[in-house]
Amino acid sequence: MAFKDEVMRVVRAIPRGSALTYKEVAAWAGSPGASRAVGTILKGNFDPAIPCHRVIRSDGKPGQYNRGAKKKVELLREEGYYEKQNPE
């Protein structure tokens, strides 16, 4: 399977309310040093079945999103990702 297909498979499996880093996606897809390539691949994804908004930077910041960084944060918030990271 091509790296791009592996990336899409990994991202498709990220559960709602969770996130992986670009580095983690690259590792799960079989190329641990290819985190930038993961970002490049996801930049071109417009398939709603592949929730690329669930892929974040290693420092915990959301990073870029092909529908706008603000939309990425909005989607993560709607899914409860931030609440899981900062339980009260």
Helix or strand (DSSP H, E) at 79:
none
Cα dihedral 70→71→76→80 (10° resolution): 100
* Annotated catalytic residue 59: no
d(CA 64, CA 19): 14
Catalytic site residue from 52, 55, 56, 76: 52
Catalytic residues: 52
